[in-house]
Amino acid sequence: MSLGRREAVAAGAGLALALAARPAAARAEAPASRLPRTVFVAGDSTAAQKYADAAPETGWGMALPFFLHRGVAVANHAVNGRSTKSFLDEGRLEPIAAALRPGDVLLVQFGHNDAKTADPARYTAPRGAYQDNLRVFVETARARGALPVIATSVERRRFDAAGNAQRSLGDYPAAAREAAALSGVPLLDVEALSLALWQRLGPEATKTYFNWTATEQDNTHFNPPGAIEVARIVARELLRTRVLAPRETRRLDDGVPADRITWPPADPSAS
């Protein structure tokens, strides 16, 4: 099991008790920021870099740099189809750990694929292995002087017959909130905020934010406008939780043209 995963999980339980006794403001306070620094993203296809063969599908991690000043870089390690389990089992945390520096941010958002009960390579119980795995990310970041941040998963486009936006992620958002509280790390509640956004937009308007094309009706992944708006939510939450300072964000209330999104011709890791 990579990165001393069992040891990190065992140590995390004792650490969580100590952190829970600290004042909430102290737990949420980010370390003194330095520039330049990097926001590392560990997650799934909703955040991942997309390439020309997948356009117009767009991960929100591709749009996050639009809302950050140039002194804050984004290293997007999110990968299609991964859960906390498969991401760790494939050793994908190791290169992040090797690159993390004091003052960097490790932003972790999983849940969509952890819920795949029929796939033992990806499934995790929300209040079992899912929370244990999130703790591995947290302890890895802390061991390197970086700030871990947990985000709830972005919601799908799902409406009932009356036009009400529906939750689709089961117990995973609640489990992520609990994991953040137990570990004393900032939480970005992207699930709640994205659900509220889809509710405001309604069933028809939300089609223009998701990867709906002439041949596909995808209610999970985004096109450029959707990725931009979810990235805006993430950036606002990074500011609200004081992970980033005001001088490290920009354009939070400004329009970002969809044509700013570009897709590289090919995934270099696939060659």
Tell me the C-alpha distance between 200 and 194, whole Å: 10
Kindly report, residue by residue over 70-84, the tens digit of the pLDDT: 899 999 999 999 999
pLDDT at 268: 78
Q: Could you tell me the CA-to-CA distances from 125 to 86, 91, 111, 129 in Å, in that order?
A: 13, 20, 10, 6
Burial, 40: exposed, middle or buried (Cβ in 10 Å; 0-12, 13-18, 19+)? buried
Would you call 269 helix, strand, or coil by DSSP?
helix
pLDDT at 109 over 90: yes
pLDDT at 27: 38
pLDDT at 269 over 70: yes
**221 falls in which pLDDT band (50, 70, 90)?**
very high
**28 falls in which pLDDT band (50, 70, 90)?**
very low
Mean model confidence pLDDT for the chain: 90
Would you call 211 helix, strand, or coil by DSSP?
strand
CATH number attached to the domain at 2-21+33-255: 3.40.50.1110
pLDDT at 89: 98
pLDDT at 9 over 60: no
pLDDT at 36: 86
Domain boundary assignment for the chain: 2-21+33-255
Handedness of CA 208, 214, 219, 220 (dihedral sign): negative
Tell me the C-alpha distance between 134 and 109, whole Å: 9
Tell me the C-alpha distance between 208 and 6, whole Å: 43
Dump the DSSP string for 116-171: -TT-TTT---TTTHHHHHHHHHHHHHHHTT-EEEEEPPPPP--B-TTS-B---STT
DSSP alpha helix (H) spans, the chain: 5-20, 24-28, 60-63, 84-89, 93-99, 129-143, 172-183, 190-205, 224-240
**29 falls in which pLDDT band (50, 70, 90)?**
very low
Kindly report, residue by residue over 58-68, the tens digit of the pLDDT: 999 999 999 99
The first and second tokens of residue 23, run together, are 């004042």
pLDDT at 155: 98
% the chain with pLDDT above 70:
86
Tell me the C-alpha distance between 5 and 140, whole Å: 9
% the chain with pLDDT above 90:
84
pLDDT at 21 over 90: no
pLDDT at 31: 47
Would you call 113 helix, strand, or coil by DSSP?
coil
Instruction: Kindly state the average pLDDT of the residues 114-132.
Output: 98
